[in-house]
Chain A
């Protein structure tokens, strides 16, 4: 083996470096990089225990283009001073609330600014279920690390074709 390396050293170096580069490329592009939320929010418990539905917190889903990610203003309507559970996450939340600072949620579903996406259009006019795009969030015990459905143009078009709705450029691009 060593002999082999000695003999065609150059080849060895090239090969190994190539492999190394490949590995880096793999790690960077190969895997979806996951998003970590400030609070390990548990959808499941809120849906099942507190039997909430999506619109209870994502208020503007049916009325506006953006669904709105709820923040302390909404949380504190239920989570007043004493915690319901002994989960450390809720403690975190209460801390945010008492310090009246906003929870720095990370958006995981987002479209570029040259695309017009309206929840109202899709949910209240198009009668889509939230799960159509967001997967069954009710089952999630921790925030989704990455979108269950990538909002890319191809995906949009596929769905639009499938539902026989317009895929005129101007109906999304602005």
Chain B
């Protein structure tokens, strides 16, 4: 059983923000009205965190993309009252929008604030309704959503693999962000597969996870900047 994980090399990542756009486009994420945005209700599945270290003028800016970390020991799934968010055997944390009752307990429980909530009915001009990605369903008002590691892509990839009876190749299943990162900073693959790039990178000396002390065991692994 594969275990999907993401490795983000902060040494390469320039912080261009393309992953955010790719993600929004791929997953039909609603774009809230400016007023909503001002109230802090913007929806990014992939967000960009910026940390300023050091004293002027020797400032180091640490900027890294933050998807859902798909923890191996997720705090969010434990508290869900209706099984709307859960961890499947491939280690993906699923969010089932039609099961969710919108209690937002999972958002509260997530130490990485990786989840976002549809405060209002998401709306688009009819024109933009043409260019929805048909593989991803639209969310409705009052449910929680989050990065899915583009699980809908996995469905197709699996199908291809099964139909010509083979394993899923390395780099065959890539989320939108990893696929279009201009700096090749985002790698994605199977942690169980010893040959996969991700496996090898995750064992590098630079590898670290966000807030490991919490014991959530994120499956998004960052590689420190080289100095």
* A174:B159 contact, CB within 8 angstroms: no
Q: Do B162 and A125 touch (CB < 8 A)? A: yes
Q: Which residues of B contact A44 (CB under 8 A)?
A: none
Residues in chain A within 8 A of chain B (CB atoms):
112-116, 118, 120-121, 124-125, 168-171, 173-174
Interface size class of B (residues with CB under 8 A): 20 to 34
Cα A174 to Cα B155 in complex, Å, equals 9
Assess whether B151 is in contact with A114, with CB atoms less than 8 Å apart.
Answer: no
B88 interfacial by beta-carbon distance below 8 Å: yes
Contact A121 B151 (CB under 8 A): no
* Contact pick for A174, options B89, B135, B163, CB 8 Å: B135
How far in angstroms is the closest Cβ of chain A from B2? 13
A174 touches B136 (CB 8 A): yes
Of the A-B pairs whose beta carbons lie under 8 Å apart in the complex, a sample of 22, sorted by A's number, is A113-B134, A113-B137, A114-B97, A114-B98, A114-B137, A116-B135, A118-B155, A124-B163, A125-B162, A168-B94, A169-B86, A169-B88, A169-B94, A169-B99, A170-B88, A170-B92, A170-B94, A170-B148, A171-B155, A173-B97, A174-B136, A174-B137
A-B CB proximity, top 5 nearest? A114-B137, A174-B152, A170-B94, A168-B88, A125-B162
Q: For window 86-103 of chain B, which residues contact chain A by CB distance below 8 Å?
A: 86, 88-89, 92, 94, 96-99
Question: B residues within 8 Å of A by Cβ?
Answer: 86, 88-89, 92, 94, 96-99, 134-138, 148, 151-152, 154-155, 159, 162-163
CA distance A121 to B137 in the complex (A): 20
Given known A169-B86, A174-B136, contact A116–B155 (CB-CB < 8 A): yes
Complex Cα distance, B159 from A130, in Å, reads: 19
Contact assessment for B152 and A116 in the assembled complex, using a CB-CB cutoff below 8 Å: yes
Among residues of A, the one whose C-beta sits closest to the C-beta of B137 is A114
Cβ-closest chain A residue relative to B139: A114
Chain B's nearest CB lies how many Å from the CB of A151? 15
Say whether, besides A113-B137, A114-B97, A170-B88, A125 and B152 are in contact (CB < 8 Å): no
Would you call A169 and B96 a contact (CB within 8 A)? yes
Complexed CA–CA distance, A19 and B159 (Å): 53
Residues of B within 8 A of A113 (CB): 134, 137-138
Chain B residues contacting A112 (CB-CB under 8 Å) are: 137
Contact across chains for A125 and B94 when beta carbons are under 8 A apart? no
Assuming the contacts A170-B94, A173-B94, A174-B136, asked whether A121 and B159 have C-beta atoms less than 8 A apart, the reply is yes
Give the distance to chain B from A43, nearest Cβ to Cβ, in Å: 27
Asked whether B159 lies within 8 Å of A120 as measured between CB atoms, the reply is yes
Smallest distance from the beta carbon of B1 to chain A beta carbons, Å? Answer: 11
Residue among A112, A120, A173 having the largest count of chain B Cβ atoms under 10 Å: A173
